[in-house]
Amino acid sequence: MSDVTRAPVAVVGGTGPQGRGLAYRLARAGHPVVLGSRDAGRAAEAAAELRALPGVTAPVDGAANEDAARGAETILLAVPYQGHAELVASLAESLAGKVLVSCVNPLGFDKGGPYGVPVPAGSAAEEAAALVPSATVVGAFHHLAAPLLLDPEADLRHEDVLVCGDDADAKARVLALAADVTGGRAVDAGRLRLAAQLEPLTAVLISVNKRYRTRSGIALTGLPSTAEKEEVA
Amino acid sequence: MSDVTRAPVAVVGGTGPQGRGLAYRLARAGHPVVLGSRDAGRAAEAAAELRALPGVTAPVDGAANEDAARGAETILLAVPYQGHAELVASLAESLAGKVLVSCVNPLGFDKGGPYGVPVPAGSAAEEAAALVPSATVVGAFHHLAAPLLLDPEADLRHEDVLVCGDDADAKARVLALAADVTGGRAVDAGRLRLAAQLEPLTAVLISVNKRYRTRSGIALTGLPSTAEKEEVA
């Protein structure tokens, strides 16, 4: 593990279930984490809760989103798509020169269940990249169920984290983080524009969850097994 | 296995790799198959080739697309997206009252690799449903790699076939066919509109295939194992 990936990771939207879940798994793997929230007080409360969970060895702190982003080289964006553009634009200065990991799933729900919301930029990840050209955007962590991330007993090694991006160094950093989150495989899924496929796929998983009363996730077939993950990630 | 699913299955676009691959697996599982093509002669040749492959026990015949569709209650549509609307419209009469299984992946390729082509109707499956309202459209078989389907030695039991549709009876019929194709799991992915997510996901698989020199496919985590497939399919 390089020094870069042991630098603090910020989680913007860190008080939501997905953000807290990712932060928990990162902290358990030894990454210092700063939870960001619009409300620094709520972020501090959520950080205190995470510190009390089993296996957390790294520091977990809370801050306002902008301060969290400012202090990190890698920022996970774990927010709802609603309000996404405004939030990203408001953080532009603190994201400049950083690796921004978009975990955003633009989804809608109606009486027919979940569906992918069309995004003019193609995907939330590409929208963020257009809003903050000085940041390097990578897409990842779209498919891990928050309740599993937050369950200390849940083994996530069989879940694949699909990572997309156009910058090889940034993608390598996120692939390493992703393997730490699950203890399993991280897969280079290709170019950033494929976030347009990865993000709304979550609608399918939510649909399957309802039908089969489970927490589904994605694994790819045809790749080396988890035991051989180093060859993949 | 009910009589309905042992009725002949037509494969429109049955001389392409995906169509031939699906036809081979169906015929090996005992389903009579009629390969359709624009050119009845080419369909007959492809059928003769399939009959010579190991394990084929059911009849495999070739016909013009329209004749193939006319003689079947279940029609697999395994054609490129280019020309899709014109082809479906031209077959409307022979598809009326039938179950039409869209296996179509609207993909584009450029120097950046594969990507999902936006479809005004949302997905190719929904486009077909709009063109032939008297047919019942189900989406399935988007993610099985054609070379694996056609490889008599390839074990497909670890591949999940995700099936989407709005008609429960038609979906049940296709779930049963899908389990026969792979010998593994077929998963009810939800409403037909989720084809908008399933179809272009193939761009991600092709991207992964290139990067990892493999033939990747999809498996969901969180569902019963293949051995318990009856609970799922």
Q: What whole-number percentage of chain A has pLDDT above 70?
A: 94
Using 50, 70 and 90 to split pLDDT, how confident is the model at A82? very high
Residue A189 identity: A
Q: Which residues pair with B219 in a beta bridge?
A: A219
The average confidence (pLDDT) of chain B is 94
- pTM score over 0.90: yes
Which among B184, B202, B214 has a CA at the least distance from the CA of B25? B184
Q: How much is the average pLDDT of A104-115?
A: 97
Among A87, A154, A46, A41, residue whose Cα is nearest residue A33: A46
**Residue B68: closest CA among B124, B19, B139, B104:** B19
φ/ψ of residue A149, rounded to 5: -55, -40
Q: Span B11-16, mean pLDDT?
A: 97
pLDDT in tens, B106-135: 999 999 999 999 999 999 999 999 999 999
Q: Which residue has the tokens 């169906």?
A: B26
Region B18-26: mean pLDDT is 98
- When pLDDT is cut at 50, 70 and 90, the band that residue A226 belongs to is low
pLDDT above 60 for A1 = no
pLDDT at residue B193 in the model: 98
Site from A160, A204, A225 to mutate, B interface, most B CB atoms within 10 angstroms: A204
Helix axis angle, B17-28 relative to B40-51, nearest 10°? 50
Distance CA A179, CA A221 (A): 17
Contact B79/B17 with Cβ under 8 angstroms? no
Query: Rounded CA gap, A104 and A83, in Å?
Result: 11
Asked if A217 and B222 come within 8 Å (Cβ–Cβ), the reply is yes
| Predicted local confidence at residue A231, as pLDDT | 45
The residue to which tokens 């988007």 are assigned: B142
Q: Under an 8 A CB cutoff, do B219 and A220 touch?
A: yes
Two tokens at B6?
């042992």
pLDDT in tens, B188-211: 999 999 999 999 999 999 999 999
Which residue type sits at A45? Answer: E
Nearest-5° Cα angle at A114, A108 to A118: 45
Q: Do B116 and A187 touch (CB under 8 A)?
A: no
State yes or no: pLDDT of B30 exceeds 90.
Answer: yes
- Is a pLDDT exceeding 90 seen at residue A110? yes
- Contact between B197 and A201 using a beta-carbon 8 Å cutoff: yes
Numbered residues of chain A with Cβ closer than 8 Å to any chain B Cβ: 112-116, 145, 158-159, 162, 164, 187-191, 193-194, 196-198, 200-201, 203-205, 207-212, 214-223, 232
- C-alpha A209/C-alpha B88 separation (Å) is 33
CB A162 within 8 A of CB B204: yes
Of the candidate ranges A147-156, B145-154, B216-225, the one whose mean pLDDT is the lowest: B216-225
Q: How confident is the model at residue A134 (pLDDT cuts 50, 70, 90)?
A: very high
d(CA B175, CA A126): 35
Per-residue confidence (pLDDT) for residue B72, from 0 to 100: 98
User: What is the pLDDT averaged over residues B67-90?
Assistant: 98
Q: Is the pLDDT of residue B1 over 60?
A: no
CATH label, A3-229, candidates 3.30.450.40, 3.40.50.720, 3.40.50.300, 3.10.20.30:
3.40.50.720
Please state, for a pLDDT cut of 70, what percent of chain B lies above it: 94
Express each pLDDT in A201-225 by its tens digit.
Answer: 999 999 999 999 999 999 999 997 6
Chain A residues closer than 8 Å to B185 by CB: none
Percentage with pLDDT > 90 across chain A: 93
Q: What is the DSSP letter of B25?
A: H
d(CA B33, CA B58): 8
Least CB–CB distance from A221: residue in B116, B189, B217: B217
- Please check the confidence at residue B221 and state whether its pLDDT lies above 90: yes
CB contact under 8 A, B189 and A197: no
Mean pLDDT of chain A: 94
Could you please report the per-residue DSSP string of A4-16?
HHHS-EEEETTTS
Smallest Cβ distance to A116: which of B159, B197, B217?
A: B197
Tell whether the model's pLDDT for residue B6 goes beyond 90: no
CB atoms within 10 A of CB B130: 14
Q: What is the pLDDT of residue B2?
A: 46
Tokens 């939800």 found at:
B190
List residues bridging with A109 in a β-sheet.
A114
**Per-residue confidence (pLDDT) for residue B233, from 0 to 100:** 44
SS3 state of residue B155: coil
> What per-residue confidence (pLDDT) applies to A225?
67
Residue B135 has what pLDDT? 98
Q: What is the pLDDT of residue B226?
A: 52
- For A167-188, what is each residue's pLDDT tens digit? 999 999 999 999 999 999 999 9
* Gap between the Cα atoms of B204 and A150, Å rounded: 28
| ipTM (interface predicted TM) | 0.93
User: Is A197 in Cβ contact with B197 (below 8 Å)?
Assistant: yes
For residue range A161-170, list pLDDT tens digits in order.
999 999 999 9
Q: Pick the residue from chain A with its C-alpha nearest to B220.
A: A218
How many beta carbons lie within 10 A of that of residue B55, not counting itself?
10
Q: What is the DSSP letter of A30?
A: T
Residues B79, B18: Cα–Cα separation, whole Å? 8
Rounded to whole angstroms, the Cα distance separating A201 from A203 reads 5
Pairing of strands A161-165, A136-139: antiparallel
Between A228 and A92, name the one with better pLDDT: A92
